[in-house]
């Protein structure tokens, strides 16, 4: 009967939802376990487990604090190398750009634009406190870890870097790559966690952090 069909359909739907919930719970349990497994792997290689969070200068860093620190930094070495805008090759190109091109950036924002271009030229230095705090905060927000991990080790592979040292993957985008990841992981952590979980799916695997760096480079 129609009633029996509806009951059967609801039963099938309930079983499907239950399976989905169980799979989601298992996936999140895997994410929650990443930090402890990474610590064991690091210890097996003779590395220190890391410095617990909230130890003065090694506290996690907010996006706003990172921006403020990067703005106050000197970029004398990087400024000559940046090309913030491409000048028109001839008068006709300049004329059409004037008529139909994008609006000019406000003069008050030009310095921030140059800072971002310079930040992209700054390599990751594990001895530099701000960039190291950015890197460690990204790891903590994604895995739920409560401590800073060793600067090099297999644990970085678990969040989507391609090797034991994130500095290698950051060569193309510099610290700007960390800044965009930090923004995602602190300002939109729910989205970041969903993307991170998807990156570790058995059929949808991709290196989460490297994918973000590739988008930043574009």
**Could you tell me the sign of the dihedral formed by the alpha carbons of 89, 93, 99, 101, in that order?**
negative
Instruction: Tell me the three state secondary structure of residue 160.
Output: coil
Cα distances from 17 to residues 5, 14, 24, 26, 185, in angstroms, run 18, 5, 10, 14, 29
**pLDDT value for 93:** 75
Distance CA(208)–CA(199), nearest Å, equals 6
The two three-digit tokens of residue 149, written as one number? 């991990």
Cα distances from 58 to residues 34, 35, 136, 204, in angstroms, run 21, 18, 9, 34
One digit per residue, pLDDT tens: the chain, 218 residues? Answer: 433 433 344 344 444 444 554 555 454 455 445 545 544 444 444 444 455 555 545 689 999 999 999 999 999 999 999 988 777 778 777 777 777 777 787 888 889 999 999 999 999 999 999 999 999 999 999 999 988 999 999 999 999 999 899 999 999 999 999 999 999 999 999 999 999 999 998 888 899 999 999 999 88
């Amino acid at each position: 009967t129609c009633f029996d069909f509806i009951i059967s359909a609801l039963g099938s739907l309930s079983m499907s939802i239950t399976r989905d919930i169980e799979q989601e719970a298992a996936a999140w349990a895997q994410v929650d376990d990443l930090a402890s497994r990474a610590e064991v792997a690091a210890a097996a290689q003779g590395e220190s487990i890391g410095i617990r969070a909230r130890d003065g200068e090694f506290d996690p860093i907010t996006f706003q604090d990172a921006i403020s620190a990067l703005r106050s930094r000197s970029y004398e070495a990087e400024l000559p190398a940046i090309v913030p805008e491409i000048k028109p090759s001839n008068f006709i190109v300049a004329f059409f750009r004037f008529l139909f091109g994008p609006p000019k950036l406000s003069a008050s924002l030009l310095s921030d634009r140059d800072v971002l271009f310079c930040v992209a030229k700054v390599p990751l230095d594990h001895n530099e406190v701000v960039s190291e705090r950015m890197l460690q905060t990204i790891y903590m927000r994604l895995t739920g870890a409560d401590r800073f991990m060793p600067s090099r080790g297999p644990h970085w592979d678990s969040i989507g870097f391609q090797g034991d040292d994130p500095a290698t993957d950051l060569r193309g985008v510099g610290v700007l790559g960390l800044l965009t990841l930090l923004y995602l992981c602190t300002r939109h952590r729910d989205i970041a966690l969903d993307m991170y979980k998807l990156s570790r799916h058995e059929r949808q695997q991709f290196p989460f952090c490297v994918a973000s760096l590739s988008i930043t480079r574009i």
